[in-house]
Structure 1
Amino acid sequence: MGVTRRNFVKFAIGGVAGLHLTPLPYKLMDDIAIWTQNWPWVPVPPEGEFLSVKSVCGLCPGGCGIQVRKVDERAVKIEGRTDYPVNPGGICPSGMGGLQLLYDRDLRHTGPMKRVGPRGSGDFMEITWDEAIKTVAERIASLRKNAKTEALVSVDGNSKGSTLSLMIERLTKAAGSPNYVRMPSLEDTYEMGNLLMMGNNGPMAYDLENSDYVLSFGSGLLEGWGGPGRIMNAWAVLREKASKGGATVVQIESRASNTASKSDKWIAARPGTDAALALGIAHVIIRDNLYDQQFVSNYTSGFEKFKTMVLGQYSPEKIVDITGVGKEAIKAMADGFARAKAPVAIYGKGKGTLNGSLFEFMSVQALNALKGNINKPGGIIISDPLPLATLPAISPDGVAERGILTPRFDQAGTNKYPFAVSLINNLIDVINHSDKSPVDTLLVFSANPAFTLPDSGEVNRALKKIPFIVSFSPFRDETSFMADLVLPDHSYLEKTDDIVRPNGLQYQLYGLTRPVVKPVYNTRSAGDTIINIAKAVDTKTASSFPWKDYESVLKIRAKGLFDSGGGLVRYKGAEPAWKWKTASDGPDYKSFGDMWKKIKTDGLWYRKLMPSAIDSGIFKTASNRFEFFISQLELAVKDYPTAAPGGNRLKELGITVEGDAAFMPHYEGNHHHDEQLPLTMAPYEMVNLASGWAPSPPFAYKTIFDDQLLGSDSFAIINPGTASEFRIKQGDYIIIQSKACAVKARASLSHGAMPGVVYMPLGFGHTAYDEFIREKGVNPNLLIPPGKDPLSGHPVWWTTPVKIMKG
């Protein structure tokens, strides 16, 4: 079999099956040789000693183990580690190309920078670290002196619970601001939904490796979902079981994605109707008495109300009209799911990083409860957070105490958004609807909101109104181009940092990156920079940061792992970590010093899968049960006054249904229908194209097909029937228009696209970075207008009304 571009992607993510391939596959050698002749730089490794250094990838929350090959002091290759439990042997294309993100000076900020050109121009002059830290510290000190500390806002794109996130939040609060804001993520949807239904917002995972029936609601398992290395390994396990008749994967998705094409069954449901389909499946399960009656009776609350609603409102006949999925298909999914021994219904569209719809997630979660497969093999796993040590509380002075008590700009946690913790989309709205920005100083860490948030035009308008912006990005991204000052972080290959439980992992694991090379440019660890800034503000702010450096903080938190007892710091691979255990392993270290030394070397502390029993108190709702009828939501409606006399509290929360159904998982309906915008734009993600904060390695662009990107033109996928209505042919230029704006792309006709839907890839359309990434295609986020998910208040990503015309 030849190594085609398609096979390269397949092999790159297929290391889990023992396949190893260089990042320069032979088929692409000629193309790359020609391409690299145009590079402004050509890396030539020096002669020297060959070394191999173990670390952990930090490009996404997946936390894959990596091994970096070096010649002398230059890194020359990254590959997956076979001695790491998350991703035995496999890494994704972005991980393989990470060296470009390390060495390419056109992608990175090479030192602290001060803006000298217009915002967005990328024109900077390099300054010293002392000047940069002094400038930020004086800005914060001025806000404290003038009792305006709430005007300091931090935006954080790091994984929740990581030590760096805690330090960012700590600096914000120690200075006196409540406005620590996180970038939206699927984790937000999981936490809010599980808090409402289970009273528990602890880490949640899907035990895919032990499942025998996976019902996937749009999860791009082969598009980089969750931790790509781990999911590829899980896919291999599922496929091996399937070959023996022991596992089934059903993909519910409107487009024939890689995952849909390679699953056992593809169900094409209309975009935005997953909640209705999940409840239609629940209807059949309940109607035919296929649910786990013992679990429902002993461990759930509100089932009778849920049963009445589902049987009355979500019959297969009604669901057909809503979703376009046939009655027989609905019945087959219900039967397959209910009769399986270890089924799991999973949720999270695309790569599983962007937030979803809260009621949609809760509708899917209701299926898992009906089967009773919670903290059982192959189901959903709810577990305790990692036992990391807690940092001492800050000791705010009077100025900080006053500021912390001021209302948050984003309204998270207020009567309007009672269950939200952070709403950056609301922050953008508040800035744009104010005559003067309430934000004076914005600190941005590991995030690129100017590119990744919906309605990018409005985001940029808000950024332009903020007087002073500081970016800590190592990359020359769109948001850093809007900054007045850049204090660049190291890349993940140059620093020590933690990864607290990789995304979606069902067992406890603590990962630690290590510097595999000396810093290539004049950058610093963001953790160290935060400590230096705090110490330079004033003595009171400095008192909340008593540590000499960031590694000291990491070590203090890791002491909690040792104090908890047990755990392993070496993975031998004889028994996968996802195999269920009845007793803990380890420890395989002698002391905390020994444990920390081994973690720094191998980047690992973990406990094999051993979840809490279902009756051990994992349900922490008012009823101490899983709640189909959500008591916290009912209280939020009854106990809080309406914003205006005689107002409708449900509508204020964004809920359109009435009666008991409002307090249960339900389908909110399609309220975005517009005769002037008759089509739906649905963004999609690809494993070989980065769509989040970090850029794609330029090498990855050589794996993108010509019907996805050709020259500088990206393509929108359209069904041939839809295209013919507008007299559009393959390759035609088209205009795609929404309420937010209009963009130009080219048409790619495919029978794998649902009629009436326009599919656009996330990750193209950058206006920053180097010449190989900049101005390639269009960014679908430009088309997505401001919208709020009912109850959660989070952005709405996945369905945007549009119209198309020939361009």
Structure 2
Amino acid sequence: MEFSTKDLMKKIEFNRRNFIKLMVGGAMGTTLTPLPWKLTDDIAIFTQTLPWLPVPPVGEFSHANTVCQLCPGGCGIEVRKVDDRAVKIEGRADYPVNPGGICPLGAGGLQLLYNENVRFIGPMKRIGPRGSGQFKNISWDEALQDLSDRIKGLRQQGKPEALVAVDGHPVRSSASLLIRRLLEAIGSPNYVGMPTAEDTYAMVNKLMMGSEGPMAYDLENADFILSFGAGLIEGWGSPGRMINAWGIWREDPFKGKTKIAQIESRASNTASKADQWVAPLPGTEAALALGIAHVMVKEGLYDTHFVKNHAFGFENWTAANGKDHMGFKDLVLQKYSPVDVAKITGVAYEEIASLARAFAKAKSPIALCGKGKGDLNGSLFEFMAVQGLNALVGNINKPGGVLFHNPLPLHPWPDVKPDAMARKGLEKDRLDQAGSMNYPFSHSLINNLTQTMLEGGKSPVDTLLVFSANPAYALPDGGRFQHALKNVPYIVSFSPYKDETSFMADLVLPDHTYLEKTDDIVWPTGLQYPFYALSQPVVEPLYDTKQSGDLIIQLAKKLGGTVGSAFPWKNYEESLKARAEGLFEAGAGLTSWEDAPPVWKGYASRRPVKSDYKSFDEMWKKIKSSGFWYRPNHSFGNWETLFETPTGKFEFFSTNLELAVNDLAQKKSPEPGLRKLGITAKGDEAFMPHYEAAPSDVDKEKYPLRMVPYGLINLSSDWLPNPPYLKKTLFDHQLMKNESFAEINPKTAAEHKLQQGDRVVIQSPKGEVKVRVNLFHGAMPGVVYLPMGLGHTAYDDYQRGQGVNPNEIMDGGKDPLSGQTVWWDTHVRIVKA
């Protein structure tokens, strides 16, 4: 099936004159339509029905700075206050990540602070049936005693490993490290993180570059961006940064316009505003990347110096044992011609070739991936194929390219010294099998944990701690997790919000919201320079809540012994300060914003950095005041020391993967080892970027269509509730009253005899959802698209029962090698309601 989009996209010269024409014409035209008057009427009615609507009194105005934590982006925000009440959130103009930029969700954060209908107002204990949401208020002393007694009981029974934590904090944050430290001191290996694109990036970096350092893109200095599904203006990375970057790309007087090619099956906002939209079949992006590589290699459009001197496995090669191996060059030339790739992806072979030439001939091209907002895992071999394109153009560790860093130089905390009971528990296998021989490069596999909780009779999980996560809603096939919770004897939620997972809890120990606490943000995803941020409370806590970091330290001290001694700090902020000492010890850095030139331009010019502090105490004081530390320069090049692979080079052929497979094969044929890892490719191809079709045993005649979820920048699809005002930013073809709409191509609708607004049931092997039809030419034929962030069964009346959650019907199987859930491709069918 071919679905070319080149005739659907019309390029527009968007200069200052045209912008003024558009704004003036738009303003005049809008006043002549009923739109503003209807929207005003809707807002008036909507706001009159909010019982908690804040009406600030007359008082003294002030401003307080902090960091948004509604996503991992780490954007700086300025909160306007009237006396002690926060009344408005704006992007900080003096902040390196997002100078002035802010997304709709970030701007609506006050509604998550003041809406008591979605918040727990203190510690609570369940008194009704599990999932009923019936709790009673208890004191913090009683809550802490209950939890410590539970954990002491597990250790006394010799089962510390039956304590499991599910964590949604960013993986590099101190909050995440503190939770892992607690489990280590108690004796449980079962810390499980929520899935994110960071997991996939880490595995790719390990396989191709040798270590798991943070992925960074010098996007502002690139002149060609080849985006494999990344929602650049829909929440990917740091949303405020990307909003600003889009303006730089569109028309920068210094370097000219940056070309953006968006690769995804649906005409998202990013695709619609890009210079080129290429629509492959869902899940075939790796094949498309390799087809692009084929053209570059065949026509000699690659960086021969980088590939020859700093890459391994490009040419055919002979191992030390005399065995001959195929290289990446022969692989793409033999198996991924544009004609062959066109059959897999549905993209015309001429379009593949022209895209490859444009990318290869750019001065500073970047290929990047991470579907949608990047808040869910990706396909490992797709990420490898995309990274292979960056290596082919040699744009690694260069201005306007992909940058590879060591982790931020934060000071390590003292090693935990577990006692005999803890050591015994830590020797047990992880319940999610991450890091085992079957999943050697994965750190967390919550889908496997879910299966373990469901299997057999008694669950091996006795006590489950849940931090900043709502897996019962946010996980692909989250309904399975919610069902699995019924098998867990004791569940503790640390969420400040009345979410689906918290409603299943036996004990709720609510955290502060991000506007009420101190926390750190360690290197937001994709940011090109080392960055550390420190959020500060802008208001006093409204309710009887506690910072989870403080609570963990209090819990550890109550448990006593080696657990208590593993937490030598008085409070959480003291632990943050201890880590930050490493920033001072590492050398130069800045704690203030330099307005001119822009930080991204200075970064590309390699300007030296002179610290604006002389002692650690001065640095920490300034970080607490400004909210950040960063180092806006980079040592470009250095390829001889950059890569930490066994060969010391960028590896097209992953020797780390080969070693893992050989361990599984136990010196026999590698094929059984590859099958255990879920890899269907054979021979040398298995160790290089290649295309693996998503594994599925679904009857495709019974379920002939595909369902792909898509994120919205104005809705949270993760663990947070949505600010009620943002509901009014949704179009009627996304949500009308309490009904979600599925985007369907008119051709597909005609085949099913459907019209605009028809009510249908979308069924998968895992379940069904009822929606209405929105005919959309930007939808690929044969694919159904559902918006994420709706369909809650918890929170308040403004979210409960509003639309459907596509996670409920996801059934994509496991991604090869990584073991993560395939959430981007589920086979479905449509039945008219």
Question: What TM-score range do you get, normalising by the shorter chain?
Answer: over 0.9
In structure 1, C-alpha distance between the alignment counterparts of 2:606 and 2:746, rounded to whole Å? 55
Contact map agreement 1:115 1:483 (CA 8 A) in 2? yes
Distance 1:404 1:730 in 2: 57
Distance 1:42 1:717 in 2: 33
User: How many Å separate the matches in 1 of 2:275 and 2:377?
Assistant: 27
Task: Give me the whole-angstrom Cα distance separating, in 1, the residues matched to 2:490 and 2:291.
Answer: 51
Match of 1:175 among 179, 183, 186: 186
546, 567, 570: which is aligned to 1:524? 546
Residues 384, 671 of structure 1: CA spacing in aligned structure 2 closer, same or farther, 3 A cutoff? closer
Tell me how far 1:625 sits from its aligned partner: 0.6
Q: Displacement of 1:370 after TM fit?
A: 0.5
Distance apart, 1:734 and its partner CA: 0.7
- Structure-2 residue corresponding to 1:153: 164
The alpha carbon displacement at 1:243 in A equals: 11
Measured after TM superposition, the shift of residue 27 of structure 1 is 7.9
Distance 1:167 1:244, change over 3 A: closer
Q: Mapping of 1:592-611 within 5 angstroms?
A: 592-611=616-635
What is the DSSP-based 3-state SS (H/G/I as helix, E as strand, rest coil) of the residue aligned with 1:640? helix
Q: Is 2:137 the counterpart of 1:126?
A: yes
Structure 2 CA distance for aligned equivalents of residues 69 and 397 of structure 1: 49
Q: Does 1:587 align with 2:611?
A: yes
Q: Secondary structure at the match of 1:493?
A: helix
TM-score with structure 2 length normalisation?
0.92
Partner of 2:712: 686
- What is the Cα deviation at residue 612 of structure 1? 4.6
Q: Once the 2 structures are TM-superposed, how far is the Cα of residue 29 of structure 1 from its aligned partner?
A: 4.2
Judge which range, 585-594 or 525-534, deviates more: 585-594
8 Å CA contact 1:215–1:249 kept in 2: the answer is yes
Deviation at 1:31, TM superposition (A): 2.2
Partner of 1:802: 828
Determine whether 1:665 maps to 2:715.
no
Q: How many residues align?
A: 785
What are the Cα deviations for residues 396-416 of structure 1, in whole angstroms up to 9, with x where unaligned? Answer: 110001001111001111111
Match of 1:719 in 2: 745
Matched, 1:437 2:459: yes
- Per the TM alignment, residue 652 of structure 1 is displaced from its structure 2 partner at its CA by 1.0
Q: CA deviation at 1:26?
A: 9.3
Please point out which of 455, 458, 480 is paired with 1:458.
480
Partner of 1:578: 600
Distance 1:383 1:454 in 2: 31
User: Do the aligned partners of 2:370 and 2:378 also contact (CA within 8 Å) in 1?
Assistant: yes
Distance 2:265 2:518 in 1: 42
Q: How does 1:521-560 map to 2 (within 5 A)?
A: 521-560=543-582
Select which of 108, 117, 130 maps to 1:97: 108
Where do 1:336-351 residues align within 5 Å? 336-351=358-373
Structure 2 vs 1, CA of residues 770 and 243 (structure 1 numbering), >3 Å: closer, same or farther? farther
Give me the whole-angstrom Cα distance separating, in 2, the residues matched to 1:29 and 1:516.
Answer: 31
- Determine the C-alpha separation between the residues in 2 that align with 1:392 and 1:144: 23
**CA positional deviation for 1:749:** 0.6
Trace 1:627-638 onto structure 2 (pairs within 5 A): 627-638=651-662
Amino acid at match of 2:61: F
Percent identity over paired residues: 59
Matched, 1:392 2:418: no
Unaligned runs of 5+ in 1: 1-13, 15-24
**2:216 maps to 1:205:** yes
Q: Is the 8 A contact 2:399 2:636 kept in 1?
A: no
Q: Which residue of 1 aligns with 2:4?
A: none
Q: Is residue 259 of structure 2 the alignment partner of residue 248 of structure 1?
A: yes
Aligned match of 1:371 = 393
Task: Kindly provide the amino acid, as one letter, of the partner of residue 131 in structure 1.
Answer: E
CA shift at 1:351, angstroms?
Answer: 0.5
Structure 1 counterpart SS, 2:486:
helix
- Which secondary structure state, in structure 2, belongs to the residue aligned with residue 164 of structure 1? helix
In 2, Cα distance between equivalents of 1:786 and 1:671: 7
Aligned to 1:142: 153
Q: In 1, distance between residues paired with 2:169 and 2:708? A: 26
Q: Matched residues in 2 for 1:444 and 1:578: separation?
A: 38
Larger deviation, residues 98-107 vs 587-596: 587-596
In the alignment, the residues of structure 1 paired with residue 595 and residue 133 of structure 2 have an alpha-carbon distance, to the nearest angstrom, of 47
* Partner AA of 2:682 in structure 1: E
Q: Distance in 2 between matches of 1:735 and 1:150?
A: 43
Cα distance 1:479–1:387, how it changes in 2: closer, same or farther (>3 A)? Answer: same
Give how far 1:268 is off.
Answer: 1.1
**Would the aligned equivalents of 1:162 and 1:498 in 2 still touch at CA under 8 Å?**
yes
Does residue 1:259 correspond to 2:307, yes or no? Answer: no
> What is the Cα deviation at residue 644 of structure 1?
12
**Alpha-carbon distance in 2 for matches of 1:478, 1:242:** 49
Distance 2:637 2:615 in 1: 30
Partner of 1:778: 804
C-alpha offsets along residues 421-452 of structure 1, whole Å, 9 cap, x if unaligned? 11111000111113110000000001110001
Q: Hey, what does 1:189 align to over in structure 2?
A: 200
| Local SS of the residue matching 1:214 | strand
Q: Are the counterparts in 2 of residues 689 and 700 from structure 1 also a CA contact under 8 Å?
A: yes
Cα distance in 1 between the residues matched to 2:144 and 2:535 = 25
- Contact 2:737–2:802, Cα closer than 8 Å, also in 1: yes
Identify the range of structure 1 (377-386 vs 637-646) with the bigger mean alpha-carbon deviation: 637-646
2:67 matched to which residue of 1?
Answer: 56
* Letter of the 2:270 counterpart: T
- The DSSP-based 3-state class of the residue aligned with 1:77 is strand
Say which SS state the counterpart of residue 89 (structure 2) adopts.
strand
Displacement of 1:508 in angstroms is 0.8
1:301 and 2:325 are equivalent in the alignment:
no
Contact 1:221–1:231, Cα closer than 8 Å, also in 2: yes
From 235, 238, 249, the equivalent of 1:227 is: 238
CA deviations 1:483-527 (Å, max 9, x no partner) are 100100000000010000112111011111101000011101000
Alignment of 1:474-489 (within 5 A): 474-489=496-511
1:561 to 2:587 alignment: no
How far did residue 613 of structure 1 move? 2.5
Counterpart of 2:681, as a letter, is: V
CA displacement at 1:329 relative to structure 2: 0.6
State the match for 2:784 in structure 1.
Answer: 758
- Aligned equivalents of 1:292, 1:281: Cα separation in 2: 15
Deviations 1:127-161 (CA, angstroms, capped at 9, x unpaired): 10111111111111111111100000011110111
Q: Deviations over 1:710-736 (max 9, x none)?
A: 011001100011011111111111111
Q: 2:251 and 2:456 mapped to 1: Cα distance?
A: 57
Aligned partners of 1:186, 1:299: CA distance in 2, in Å? 26
Deviation at 1:241, TM superposition (A): 3.7
1:533 alignment partner AA: L
Q: CA deviation at 1:175?
A: 0.6
Structure 1 Cα separation of the partners of residues 669 and 338 of structure 2: 40
Cα distance in 2 for residues equivalent to 1:242 and 1:70: 38
RMSD (CA atoms)? 1.8
The alpha-carbon deviation at position 90 of structure 1 amounts to 1.2
AA aligned opposite 2:793: T
* Most deviating of 606-615 and 494-503: 606-615
For the residues of structure 1 that align with 2:466 and 2:199, how far apart are their CA atoms? 19
User: Does the residue aligned with 1:79 lie in a helix, a strand or coil?
Assistant: strand
Q: Describe the shift of the 1:643–1:806 C-alpha distance in structure 2 as closer, same or farther (beyond 3 A).
A: farther
Q: Per-residue deviation at 1:660?
A: 1.1
Deviations 1:763-791 (A, max 9, x none): 11100111111111110001112621100
Q: Give the corresponding residue for 1:22.
A: none
- The answer as to whether partners of 1:566 and 1:586 remain within 8 angstroms in 2 is yes
The residue number in structure 2 matching 1:320 is 342
Is 1:642–1:648's contact at 8 Å kept on the other side of the alignment?
Answer: no
Gaps of 5+ in 2: 1-18, 20-35, 316-326
SS at match of 1:747: strand
